[in-house]
Amino acid sequence: MSDSERIVRLETHFQYIERDLSELKQGQKDISKELSSLAAILKTLPTKDDLSAWKLQWTGICVAAIALIVGGIIGGLVWIKPEAPQVIVQSGTSQGSTVPAVSSPLRPATPDAPAPRP
């Protein structure tokens, strides 16, 4: 192999190497652009602290909603329930001793009424 053939062969290899390097540089630029766009997207994603705070907020909202629902049901049931007669206990004196008299809308209290048995 002569010197001129060797030089031509080396120049051809060098051209291939330059072409490969330019492709690598272009690939590196493309990767750099992708990484910068991914970094911008990552900045907008929630962190673990954000997610745990959201979990606590939604837990509080659910507990409050359940309390409102249960309170509404209980309030509605109380509104429907008829009122029971009130029992009024009075103490009266009969023959020198204290005798409790029980009064209700069905039976008025009188001082002479006998004390109810337990």
Q: What per-residue confidence (pLDDT) applies to 102?
A: 52
Residue 94 has pLDDT above 80, yes or no: no
Mean pLDDT of 56-61: 95
> With contact defined as beta carbons under 8 Å apart, do 55 and 47 qualify?
no
C-alpha span between 118 and 110 (Å, rounded): 19
Residue 116, both tokens: 């109810």
Mean pLDDT of 61-84: 85
CA 83 to chain centre: 39
Mean pLDDT of 19-27: 95
The residues spanned by each domain of the chain are: 1-45, 47-80
Q: Is pLDDT larger for residue 42 or for residue 78?
A: 42
Is the model's pTM score more than 0.85? no
| Short-list 88, 93, 90, CA closest to 101 | 90
